[in-house]
Amino acid sequence: MGQVPADWTPDSWKSKPIKQSPDYPDQAAVAKSLSELRRLPPIVHPREIVRLKEHLRDVARGEAFLLQGGDCAELFDYCEQGAIESKIKLLLQMSLVLIWGADKRVVRIGRMAGQYAKPRSSPMETVDGRQVPSFRGDILNGFHLDERDLDPNRLVRAYHHSSATLNYIRAAISSGIADLHRPLDWGLGHVRDPALKAKYSEAVNFLTDMLRFMHTVGADKTDKLDTVDLFTSHEGLLLDYEQSLTRLLDSPSTSASSSSNTKGHSNKKEYFDTSAHFLWIGDRTRQIDHAHVEFFRGIANPIGIKVGPTTPVTDLLALLRTLNPSREQGKITLITRYGAGRVSSLLPAHIRAVEDSEYARSVVWQCDPMHGNTQSVGLGGIKTRAFSDIFSELQQTLRIHKEQGSYLGGVHLELTGDAVTECLGGSEGLDEDDLSTNYTSFCDPRLNEKQALELAFLIADHYRS
């Protein structure tokens, strides 16, 4: 396990330069919200955080696969039974397909229960010829034009929506939404290509036969199949919020640590950011000497770092040395997002920098094939992504890791369980004219249920062929 760095405090980030930070006009109201947040209980428990870390250690070792997905911007309105259930089910179905394909355990993390803060390229935007503040996520302001001013009350509302969402995730999972004995709806009706349809049907038949067989022989009566772990994550953008939920708590013993006492604690305290199990640092805020890296180097949670075309090779090692000086395996997930056209020229050097250093085999390499592939189409400049570009970046990433002798441990996707029309292509063949049918994202375009499942089938196919 790591240690609290000697020169770190939960607010040491405040002395560093910071990007994407809100300038609230009413500081007294912010102080009131933050003091309320400091009083409220943790949203997640250190024991769960440490359990995820152990799973991620297995991913770093090549023994498991990480599936992470959810909305780009989660709205408070998505804190609702149907939306939560459809996302859990989709992640579960995708993970079954991946288990079948990769023959490995799958670790699931939702971009859920807290993905409320969005970095923006510009603080203002033009809507209907008028300059208005950009939407920065529900924790800061509202999407509707009369709600664009920063509102400090939203900090506390974010906490309550996050905990209500996680409460229902826990309740649904422990009551059997993930109960694999019930038939799942695989809906392959939209797949027109006969060869693809045959491939997907083979997987579905195998999975349903396997589940039925396990039920018959009673092998499904174990905790492993009845309950399915789903961890939560969000971009750790709003440091005032993250700091308020960061607590000095007993460090649960891990299966690897030997010095624990009888209560299962290691007599050691660490700072846990209890807002989520997993936090990541975004592409716009990962400057080595800035506030976000300073904050995240002091907490015990597993951390993601977005890595893209603007990440110098030297920064990558500096980030690992700062955020994971004790070289814990699985502590850092490198979430690579270059775009289909650039991945082959940029990823190999990033892999070599890490794998030829003292951090060899210690990181989780995860591919985010969404953020390097965003394009604007049509007169209105609608943001979209082509399924073919998304799959191409993923396929190239798989190939490059194989060539370099490293392990692609996971995927990071923007998806929803709803039948949205935000990304182009896939077996439904969505084209530009279809985008307006059901485009509901308030930020980046997401894969719909069919496209997300199809991507899982294609990854599975890669492993099996």
CB of 368 to ligand PEP, least distance (A): 6
Footprint on residues 154-193 left by Mn ion (CB under 5 A): none
Burial class from Cβ neighbours inside 10 Å (0-12, 13-18, 19+) for residue 182 reads exposed
Bridge partners of residue 124, in order along the sequence: 133
Query: 337 among the known binding-site residues?
Result: yes
The site for ligand PEP, by CB under 6 A, has a size of: 9
55 makes contact with ligand PEP (CB under 6 A): no
Footprint on residues 312-341 left by ligand PEP (CB under 6 A): 337
Query: 367 among the known binding-site residues?
Result: no
Stretches 226-234, 278-286, 297-305, 448-456: which one binds ligand PEP (CB under 6 A)?
278-286
Among 22, 119, 133, 348, binds ligand PEP (CB under 6 A): 119
The site for Mn ion, by CB under 5 A, has a size of: 2
Among 57, 371, 385, 401, binds ligand PEP (CB under 6 A): 371
Stretches 59-67, 69-77, 180-188, 340-348: which one binds Mn ion (CB under 5 A)?
69-77
Bridge partners of residue 109, in order along the sequence: 68, 231
CA-to-CA dists, residue 413 to 166, 302, 402, 417, 446, angstroms: 20, 18, 21, 12, 8
CB of 182 to ligand PEP, least distance (A): 32
Nearer to Mn ion, 284 or 327 (CB): 284
Residue 174 has phi, psi (to 5 degrees) of: -75, -15
CB of 412 to ligand PEP, least distance (A): 8
Q: What would the two tokens of residue 134 be?
A: 């950009």
Indicate which of Mn ion, ligand PEP, none lies near residue 283 (CB less than 5 to 8 Å, by partner kind): ligand PEP
Nearer to ligand PEP, 266 or 441 (CB): 441
374 makes contact with ligand PEP (CB under 6 A): no
CB of 366 to ligand PEP, least distance (A): 12
Query: 306 among the known binding-site residues?
Result: yes
CA-to-CA dists, residue 191 to 12, 195, 196, 415, 420, angstroms: 53, 10, 7, 19, 17
CB of 371 to Mn ion, least distance (A): 6
Q: DSSP 3-state assignment of 385? A: coil
283 makes contact with ligand PEP (CB under 6 A): yes
Q: Distance between CA 178 and CA 167 in Å, rounded?
A: 15
- C-alpha of 7 from chain center: 29
Among 55, 199, 234, 306, binds ligand PEP (CB under 6 A): 306
Among 444, 451, 454, 458, binds Mn ion (CB under 5 A): 444
Residue type, 366: Q
Indicate which of ligand PEP, Mn ion, none lies near residue 277 (CB less than 5 to 8 Å, by partner kind): none
CB of 444 to Mn ion, least distance (A): 4
**C-beta separation of 106 from 119 below 8 A:** no
72 makes contact with Mn ion (CB under 5 A): yes
Indicate which of Mn ion, ligand PEP, none lies near residue 306 (CB less than 5 to 8 Å, by partner kind): ligand PEP
Bridge partners of residue 106, in order along the sequence: 65
Residue 259 has phi, psi (to 5 degrees) of: -95, 30
CA-to-CA dists, residue 317 to 293, 299, 364, 441, angstroms: 13, 19, 14, 35
Residue 414 has phi, psi (to 5 degrees) of: -100, 115
Query: 11 among the known binding-site residues?
Result: no
Q: Distance between CA 154 and CA 150 in Å, rounded?
A: 9
Query: 371 among the known binding-site residues?
Result: yes
Residue type, 169: I
136 makes contact with ligand PEP (CB under 6 A): no
72 makes contact with ligand PEP (CB under 6 A): yes
Question: Exposed e or buried b for every residue in 100-121, given b needs 16+ CB within 10 A?
Answer: bbbebebbbbbbbbbbbbbebe
Within 8 A by CB and 6+ apart from 15, the residues are none
CA-to-CA dists, residue 444 to 44, 439, 448, angstroms: 27, 10, 12
Q: What is the DSSP string of 309-343?
A: TT--HHHHHHHHHHH-TT--TTSEEEEE---TTTH
Q: Distance between CA 307 and CA 32 in Å, rounded?
A: 36
Stretches 181-189, 276-284, 375-383, 416-424: which one binds ligand PEP (CB under 6 A)?
276-284
Indicate which of ligand PEP, Mn ion, none lies near residue 53 (CB less than 5 to 8 Å, by partner kind): none
Footprint on residues 422-451 left by ligand PEP (CB under 6 A): 444
Stretches 96-104, 281-289, 296-304, 382-390: which one binds ligand PEP (CB under 6 A)?
281-289
* Residues of this chain that bind ligand PEP (CB under 6 A): 72, 119, 282-284, 306, 337, 371, 444
* Residues of this chain that bind Mn ion (CB under 5 A): 72, 444
Which residues are part of a known binding site for Mn(2+)?
72, 371, 414, 444
Which residues are part of a known binding site for phosphoenolpyruvate?
111, 306, 337
